[in-house]
Structures are given as structure tokens and as C-alpha cells.
Amino acid sequence: MKSIILIPLVAVILIAGSFSALAERPTCNRFDAFWDNNSAAFAVNGTDATMNGIIDGTTPGVVAALLRDHPAVDTIILDYVPGSDNDSANVNAAQMIRAAGLNTHIKNNGVVSSGGVDFFLAGVNRTIDAGVCEVGVHSWAGGGIANPAALPRSSVEHLLYLRYYRRMGIDEEFYFFTLNAASANNIYNMDDTDIASFGMTGAAVVFAPERPDIRIGKSGNSSRQAGNNQYSNSGKRQTLKVQLKKTRPAKFNLTIENDSNAYDYMKFKSSRAGRSLRMTVFRTSGRRKNITGSVAKSGFLIPSVNPGELAKFQVLIKNASSQKKGRQNFKFTGSSSLTGSKKDVAVAKVSSR
């Protein structure tokens, strides 16, 4: 006996501007006027729950009811899931599916697009029938942004889905692929080569938790800085004493390394200088850049940091005047923008002679 649970599904609004080099699956002509305009629902039959409809704000509650009332279900079969109208709800509902250890499957002649594809990626084991009709992706638009593909990778607007994809074990390049595959009002139908290239089927990859590692020292050589593999919220074992002479600036360096096994988007943030001191901060890995304004305010975002990759910084601090002898403990934090909870702290104890 089948039971129907009405559930809204959250769509992932993806991408802009078509890639002529992509060889997409032939156009799918399956349309379902009912499920194109109604919240997603699950039809439960034994260990399977077949999903149809639009993911929306009610979906997390419906998924919770499904998991509570049908503990024998181990596979979500996506039949006609054309997208979502609430990205946050989609992410929340999908993470419930992952946490429960359920598999996902797109059935023969299935249409799964936009947020529906993101929901599919939540499965711990993911399969797609050979006769699938559509696995569609596209860009998103909204909040005054018409073409997210034109935004730099360091833009915070990318973080919602980058966070989600990392938790699902999906490479960040899948997100940027969607941003270039089709505009927000079009769909790119992924073929088998696309699906394989991003590891969308099979057992989900499990990435290690984010782990930023900050170091500090007078030398720009990270191997000579204090704090390697010393993770602290207080700066313990990664503290540097800095002495100032009149108005001559003192220089020291910091490095943040990605100690996880997968990509991260890290943030470098510092204390503000008090009235008696002046601080300037440069990013020195890559092209030298003055990042003082962002570091002391919201923090400087470092995009696409690969495992083992280093981001390097130089700090210059001086007394505001020869009459003032400044003293301050500066806290420098390296954190993951994909979690917000993983961070590592170094401290510079600045005093004047």
C-alpha cells in the first residue's frame, strides 16, 4: 500500500550563459503540469520513497515526517523534480537525507533539474537509470545579480552552495560548471560524460572536516614560523613578541594552510589597531596586495584553497607618533568560510621601547 506525503522541494537556481563546447543530452520532452506547480511529495512503497514536485519551504518538515514515519525507507527515487523555490530549505532537507544515510536514484524517464539535482546529490549512494530524460542544471539569478558567473570566486554570494557541495563530497568545479552551462531561465541537460566527470553517481566521497592552520613569525618562510599543526582559539604556542622603535614599522609574517583533504574557502581576519598604533596588512602569496581594510573589518576571503596550499601575509605595525608608545595584543584568525566554526588563532604582542 502506498502513502502520499506532500513535500516541497527546494530548487537550486544555477547558471548563466551557454557553453558551446558542452555536448548535452538530447532535449527531453516530458512535462507534468501538476508537479510543475505543486509542492514535492513522497509516495512510499516498502523501502522506496518516490519523489515528485517542486522543493519549497515546507520540504524540510515533510522530509522529517518521512524519516520519522517510514524508518524502513532507504532510497529516495526522484521521478519528476523540476527544481525548487527556496535554496535554504533545499539544503536543509537534503542534509537530512544525507544524515539519515539514504540512497538516491533517478528513475528511467525521470526529470530532475536545478534544485532537484542538488537534492539527488545528498544520497550516500547515487544511481541514475540509463533511460533518464533530464538531469538539468543552470545558473541562478536574484538579489540584484543577473550573472553569477561574472562574480569573482571570492564573492560571498557563492558560499551557500559551495558549503553544501563540500558536505556532499562534490568538487567546487561542479558549482562553477553550472554557472556557465545555462542562464537562469534555461536548462542544460547533462550527459553521461558530464555526470561521470563530477563523480555524481556511486558512493559519495566523504571529505575530512575543514581545518585551517595559521602560523606566525618574523620570517616569511612558513617552516620557520610558530604554530604548524598547533590549533588554538587563544594563540597558545603561536604567539610572537613584536617591539617597536619610535615610528619605524616592525614587520612580521603569517601563513594559513589548508590542513584538510579537500578544498576550502578561508578567511583571514585581524584585530583593529588602537589609536596609538597603525597597521598595514599585505597578501604576499601571488601578487602583493594591500588588504588592510577588509582584514580588520569583515575579513579577507581566500577562495579555492586546495589541500596543503598556503596563503601568506605580511603585517607592518608602527607607532602613530614618536610621542606615543603603543602597546596592544593583536589577534589574527584563520577560519573556514564554509563552516564558520573551524578556526585557528595567532597572536602578536606589540610593545614599544
**DSSP, residue by residue, 109-148:** EEEEETHHHHHHTT-SEEEE-TT--EEEE-E--BTTBS-G
Closest by alpha carbon to 164, among 91, 228, 110, 245?
Answer: 91
pLDDT of 17 above 50 = no
Which residue is associated with the grid cell 527546494? 10
Q: Sorting pLDDT into bands at 50, 70 and 90, what band is 21?
A: very low
Phi and psi for 127 in degrees, rounded to 5?
-135, 155
In angstroms, rounded to a whole number, what is the distance separating the alpha carbons of residues 236 and 230? 8
pLDDT of 12 above 50 = no
pLDDT, the chain, mean: 90
Q: Record the pTM.
A: 0.84
Q: Sorting pLDDT into bands at 50, 70 and 90, what band is 98?
A: very high
In angstroms, rounded to a whole number, what is the distance separating the alpha carbons of residues 11 and 80? 12
Q: 14 with 137: CB under 8 angstroms?
A: yes
pLDDT at position 342, please?
A: 86
- The 10s digit of each residue's pLDDT in 294-331 is 999 999 999 999 999 999 999 999 999 877 788 999 99
Cα-to-chain-centroid distance, residue 249:
38
Average pLDDT over residues 335-349: 90
As to burial, measured by CB atoms within 10 angstroms (0-12 exposed, 13-18 middle, 19+ buried), residue 70 is middle
Which amino acid is present at 11? Answer: A
Domains of the chain: 3-203 (3.90.226), 212-352 (2.60.40.1510)
